[in-house]
Amino acid sequence: MAKTMKPTEQTEVSEAQIAVHWKEEAYYQPSEKFKAQANMRDPHIFERFGLDKFPDCFKEYADMLTWFEPYHTVLDTSDAPFWKWFVGGKINASYNCVDRNLAKYGTKAAFIFVPEPEAERDVVIKYQELYDRVNEVAALLRGLGLKAGDRVTFHMPMVPELPITMLACARLGIIHSQVFGGFSGQACGSRIQDSGSRVLITMDSYWRNGALVDHKANADIAVRTAKDLGQDVDKVLVWQRYPGKYSGKTPMVPGRDFFVNDLLKDYKGQEVEPVALPSEAPLFLMYSSGTTGKPKGAQHSIAGYLSYVTATSKWILDIHPDDIYWCMADIGWITGHSYIVYGPLANAATSVLYEGVPTFPDAGRPWRIAERLGVNIFHTAPTAIRMLRKLGPQEPRKYKYQFKSMTTVGEPIEPETWRWYYDEVGKREAVITDTWWMTETGGFLGTTVPAIHAMKPGSCGPAAPGIHPVIYDETGAEIPKGSGKAGNICIRHPWPGIMQTIWGDHDRYIKTYYGKYNKNPRSKDWRDWPFLCGDGAVQAADGYYRILGRIDDVINVAGHRLGTKEIESACLTVPEVAEAAVVPVQDEVKGRVPEVYIAVKPGVQPSQEVIDRVIKANEEVIGKIARPKHVYIVPDMPKTRSGKIMRRVLAAISNRRDVGDVTTLANPDVVEQIRIMVQGKDTVTTHDALPEDIAKFGQAE
Ligand code: WTA
């Protein structure tokens, strides 16, 4: 892998090369106890959801929802690839997540909110209270003149007010667009502009790592950024972390900023009929990164999306109404939308909502919460698992919780970490479900069905019922299972949870997800439209998939997608910077972290000050998660004769690998200079294969 390769050779990673990192692993079986209680244990499920049963098999998913009017067509492909699921039906997501649970579960907790400060008490929100609060907020939004089809941007932390406001929007058909709370005000502002929101809903402050963060300041920046981009925001609605008290530092702008709690006084006790909306009306937008510098707003539908997350929450997460379920993710990402809010609530779950950092104040915190609240289903990302393991490998033993099931999501989990999760966190009793999917897909794609399949560390498993993946090589030929070759994983068909389009950019939707493998753009047959997921993968002989990472120059930092073009544009906002290149570096905790190489403009002296500015620019334009591990000021970028920056060479240097043959570059000498700068004179590089996403880095254009 270290030598220079032609692009076509790069996909042909042999099983032997991959085995440098991950060997084929032994199976682990789910316990009889788990199997006996599981929601899905029908071994014929995969026949019922065979490709020959497509798309009618998904009627079973639609049947899990309560409809105001029945649908007449399961899947309408007449405007392919803009799929319409369950056409003709009328439905409401808020009704399905809240109202329909009242009769049976009104007095049961929907959410148990755990504040980060340990001295603060939990807040239990029962389904009846959730109903009351969602209705009041819906009445308020309606009172402000908002209606079905309008977009509203949220920039909220992990507090119960976030799902409450989402469900209030869903009640009216308002399309919500939640921006991850850790993103900067500027990042929020550009998403406000793209979605055309006139209302921003935020919170004054929240706890993170022991500090009360002033969050309202970001709203001021967001509104200013949106305005500069041409989008006016009329109203900023500010929730208070401590109701009745303002914990922000920037002044409220008269006529623009309002405390939600003040406005709500006029809507006490009001009820709002859930609007009967068409199945394919949009429910929300979720922005995510891709190959270009502009994040894309994945648009998800009401009925298709909701049916998909409801069914997978029931069958894969195995949520029963009497479980205590905890997804330790942030609602600001797709995982939280699908598997904290919509899927679990539609299954009448009781779910834990934790405000803060998993390791605050120490690495025992999650296990204390689990013990105290009797959590029995736990869901988190490999980054959190690695961090908890690093800081407190023995901590789980000190607490008497007992999980029946655990999930991992967001990044490949290496077998060693998997085994710690299994042995220590799951105490060798809990099943582990490794769920592979993405923002665009709404819910799980690659996974085991936990009571049916054995687990295999490092592989996500086969696929969810009704999902039929295929791995294609660069030419569009199928790569057979067991061949040991990697390729681009696609799904052969649409499914209810699939995104509808990219908000405001139908062409980009077609080009990004279908451009590579669709052979007939006029076809109305779904068979002509395999969906390109954006990951490299290999399928072992047993049918299990191993995911090798993104193929589109997206760096997956601690499970969060960051586009290299976004980071590079942030660097270029620093006036001294002439050129910037970002590469992924392997990190023991976060999986991947970005490293930045910059060249300064003529006459500018390289200095720590420039480096600090580059770091600050990333924090301001994107957010703290985009903070580069290192910034190197180089004399020149390694370039091809046609002037293209060779990010692959920089990635090899950053990852302490041999750079291979660089003699064909326009400026080969600079490579050695950079190598010494980064690695020091005497560093011994290795020829070990790089993980696929890094090896192929810098090729997507
Ligand atoms: C990666 C998160 C390996 C993958 C739900 C995907 C995974 C990207 C897994 C999507 C997994 C997610 N194993 N890799 N179980 N789950 N990924 O859109 O590269 O934030 O393309 O959605 O995360 O990230 P996104």
Does the pLDDT of residue 14 top 90, yes or no? no
* Each residue's pLDDT tens digit, 420-430: 999 999 999 99
Does the pLDDT of residue 1 top 60, yes or no? no
Report, as an integer, the average pLDDT of 265-279: 98
CA of 532 to the centre of ligand 1 (A): 14
Q: What is the pLDDT of residue 10?
A: 40
Tokens of 245: 């008290």
Dist. CA 356–CA 159, nearest whole Å: 10
Q: Which atom of ligand 1 is nearest to the CA of 335?
A: 5
Q: What is the pLDDT of residue 696?
A: 81
* Each residue's pLDDT tens digit, 485-513: 999 999 999 999 999 999 999 999 999 99
Are 581 and 556 spatial neighbours (Cβ–Cβ below 8 Å)? no
What band does 660 get if pLDDT is binned at 50, 70 and 90?
confident
Does the pLDDT of residue 3 top 60, yes or no? no
Dist. CA 95–CA 274, nearest whole Å: 6
Are 663 and 669 spatial neighbours (Cβ–Cβ below 8 Å)? no
pTM: 0.94
Residue 183 Cβ < 6 Å to ligand 1: no
* Each residue's pLDDT tens digit, 20-65: 455 678 999 999 999 999 999 998 999 999 999 999 999 999 999 9
Q: What is the pLDDT of residue 22?
A: 56
What band does 619 get if pLDDT is binned at 50, 70 and 90?
very high
Does the pLDDT of residue 185 top 60, yes or no? yes
Residue 392 Cβ < 6 Å to ligand 1: no
β-pairing verdict for 591-600 and 631-633 = parallel
> In the chain, pLDDT over 90 holds for what percent of residues?
90
Residue 547 Cβ < 6 Å to ligand 1: yes
The dihedral region occupied by 17, where left means phi > 0, alpha psi between -120 and 50, and beta the remainder, is alpha
Report, as an integer, the average pLDDT of 131-156: 98
Q: What is the pLDDT of residue 104?
A: 98
3-state secondary structure labels for all residues of 460-485: CECCCCCCCEEEECCCCCECCCCCCC
CA torsion through residues 552, 555, 561, 565, sign? negative
Report, as an integer, the average pLDDT of 232-242: 98
Report, as an integer, the average pLDDT of 250-276: 98
Dist. CA 198–CA 97, nearest whole Å: 26
Nearest-CA residue for atom 3 of ligand 1: 412
Are 694 and 555 spatial neighbours (Cβ–Cβ below 8 Å)? no
Dist. CA 350–CA 406, nearest whole Å: 16
Burial 107-124 (b: 16+ CB within 10 A, else e): ebbbbbbbbbeeeeeeee
The H or E element that residue 353 is part of is strand 350-354
Q: What is the pLDDT of residue 293?
A: 86
Cα atoms found within 13 Å of the Cα of residue 673, Cβ hemisphere only: 12
| Average pLDDT across the chain, whole number | 94
Q: How far is CA 326 from CA 71, 377, 417, 687, in A?
A: 33, 6, 20, 42
What band does 6 get if pLDDT is binned at 50, 70 and 90?
very low
CA of 392 to the centre of ligand 1 (A): 26
Report, as an integer, the average pLDDT of 525-544: 96
Residue 561 Cβ < 6 Å to ligand 1: yes
* Each residue's pLDDT tens digit, 286-302: 999 988 889 999 999 99
* Each residue's pLDDT tens digit, 215-225: 999 999 999 99
The dihedral region occupied by 623, where left means phi > 0, alpha psi between -120 and 50, and beta the remainder, is left
549's CB contacts (< 8 A; 6+ apart) are 412, 535, 536, 556, 592, 691, 692, 693, 694
CA of 436 to the centre of ligand 1 (A): 6
Residue 678: burial class (beta carbons within 10 Å; 0-12, 13-18, 19+): middle
Tokens of 641: 């004769």
Residue 409 Cβ < 6 Å to ligand 1: yes
Report, as an integer, the average pLDDT of 245-273: 98
Q: Which atom of ligand 1 is nearest to the CA of 533?
A: 21
Residue 460 Cβ < 6 Å to ligand 1: yes
Residue 434 Cβ < 6 Å to ligand 1: yes
Q: Which amino acid is residue 526, in one-letter code?
A: W
Report, as an integer, the average pLDDT of 340-365: 98
Does the pLDDT of residue 129 top 90, yes or no? yes
Greater pLDDT, 127 or 691: 127
Q: Please, what is the end-to-end C-alpha distance for the chain in angstroms?
A: 21
Pocket test for ligand 1, best of 305, 467, 547 (most atoms within 8 A of CB): 547
Pocket test for ligand 1, best of 411, 544, 693 (most atoms within 8 A of CB): 411
Report, as an integer, the average pLDDT of 370-381: 98
Q: What is the pLDDT of residue 23?
A: 65
Q: What is the pLDDT of residue 328?
A: 97
What band does 18 get if pLDDT is binned at 50, 70 and 90?
low
Residue 439 Cβ < 6 Å to ligand 1: yes
Residue 403 Cβ < 6 Å to ligand 1: no
Q: What is the pLDDT of residue 683?
A: 74
Q: What is the pLDDT of residue 19?
A: 47
Q: Which of 283, 280, 278, 330 is nearest to 176 (CA)?
A: 283
CA of 272 to the centre of ligand 1 (A): 37
Report, as an integer, the average pLDDT of 244-253: 97
586's CB contacts (< 8 A; 6+ apart) are 592, 655, 691, 694
Pocket test for ligand 1, best of 287, 556, 693 (most atoms within 8 A of CB): 556
CA of 559 to the centre of ligand 1 (A): 7
Nearest-CA residue for atom 14 of ligand 1: 411
Does the pLDDT of residue 638 top 90, yes or no? yes
Q: What is the pLDDT of residue 688?
A: 80
Q: What is the pLDDT of residue 686?
A: 78
The H or E element that residue 648 is part of is helix 647-654
